[in-house]
A and B are shown apart, each in its own frame.
Chain A
Amino acid sequence: MSEPSVKSNPRATCKMLWTLFSVFFQIGAFTFGGGYAMIPLIQRETAEKRSLVPPEQILDIVAIAESTPGPIAINAATFIGCRCAGAPGALAATFGVVLPSFCIIFVLSFFLRRLMQFAAVRYAFAGIRAGVLALVCRAFFNMYRQCPKGSVSYFVGAAALGLSAFTGLNVLWIVAASALLGLLFSLLPHQKKEG
């Protein structure tokens, strides 16, 4: 947990900020799918190639990125940046990971609508939408497998599914209520084991 000491030396600070920015820029520019797909790359670039983070800390970082709000990639970048060089480091790393996406999508959005004028592209997307449904199904099953099981989990999961699919209830309320429910159950005295 030793933080690289860059506090007193402005040149070293600048170098560290540049390293953070460029490493996370590469990570942002070369991972397809984001989130979990980024973790192996983050591990290789920050822990194995450079010693920005101790290798044994990667798992902690993933766990924290999962249990704090927001995209995993952003959370991990901000966390590593912050550990290396405080708030400026967090800013450099986050800016780096966001910039490639932002530029690519910004440019792409001008073509996307024009492309839809072509029949072939519309046909392709009609097929792709069915493919995306399969991807969302896979995400659902993967998350189901990783989720701790138990009666509370099944209840919260089923309620969230039913409410979000068949009522117009705001998802924000479902999220807030489930956090509260989980908290209340964990405060009950009788339980011993997790999930």
Chain B
Amino acid sequence: MIFLTLFWTFFKIGLFTFGGGYAMLPLIEQQVLANRWMSLESLVNFVAVSESTPGPFAINIATYVGTETAGFAGALCATLGVVTPSFLVILVVARCYLAFQNNRVVKGCMRGLRPATVGLIGGAVVTIGLAVLCGGNPAAAVTTPAFWCSLVIFAGCLVLAFRKAHPLLLVACSAAAGVALGYCGAWG
């Protein structure tokens, strides 16, 4: 039963995400949290792991969630689930892609889907931001050193990110800062 749930959940994620990488994050966040497969914290951890290992984020997260919940067979089901919609759709589209590209319905749908993807990632910034910086409790967080340390690391990384630093460099820098601050007792 868990195998079917894994397959079906990741099938939906594959079917409803347009644009790769972080565009998948909002949907994965909601589905994975709803099924209680991971906490938001470990999901954010895994984004960094995925940035530091080769391969598409969608495949990495599907394999990870599958393995964690139901071992090898689970990983297989989840990964198969996230790949299948792409595979079937492209198999059809590849045969008539010129017609597909110029299709008015496709263009119309994309007109709504592209800004929606941006908005959804914006939503992920809000939910992940609240979780990472405030630990889910914004009012109490401001008084803790963890909040201020996270904020400083975030600000530093933001500067790096907008100077087009490689994600791996960013992960390495924030890890180093995290360890240094951790031994000063910042994370409590």
Contacts and interface: CB of A to CB of B under 8 A. Distances in A.
Contacts of B82: 70-71
A101 B48 contact: no
Majority-rule SS of B interface residues:
helix
Interface size class of chain A, counting residues whose CB lies under 8 Å from the partner chain: 35 or more
A74 B87 CA distance: 7
Interface residues of B, number: 109
A183 to B, nearest CB: 4
Nearest to A68: B89
A38 B154 CA distance: 27
Contact of B75 (A106, A147, A154, A195): A106
A188 to B, nearest CB: 10
A123 B12 contact: no
Contact of B132 (A74, A133, A143, A156): A133
A131 B109 contact: no
Contacts of B15: 69-70
Interface stretch (A4-12, A13-21, A44-52, A59-67): A59-67
Contacts, number: 409
B25 interface: yes
A128 to B, nearest CB: 4
B22 A136 contact: yes
Given A30-B54, A131-B170, A70 B122 contact: no
Interface string A159-195: 1111111100011101111111111111100000011
With most chain B CB atoms within 10 A of its CB, the pick from A71, A91, A195 is A71
Interface of A: 28-36, 38, 60, 63-75, 78-79, 82-83, 87, 90-91, 94, 97-98, 100-102, 104-106, 108-110, 112, 119-120, 122-141, 143-144, 147-148, 152-154, 156-166, 170-172, 174-187, 194-195
10 shortest A-B CB distances, which residue pairs?
A127-B178, A182-B112, A123-B182, A101-B55, A131-B174, A70-B86, A160-B119, A35-B20, A164-B123, A34-B56
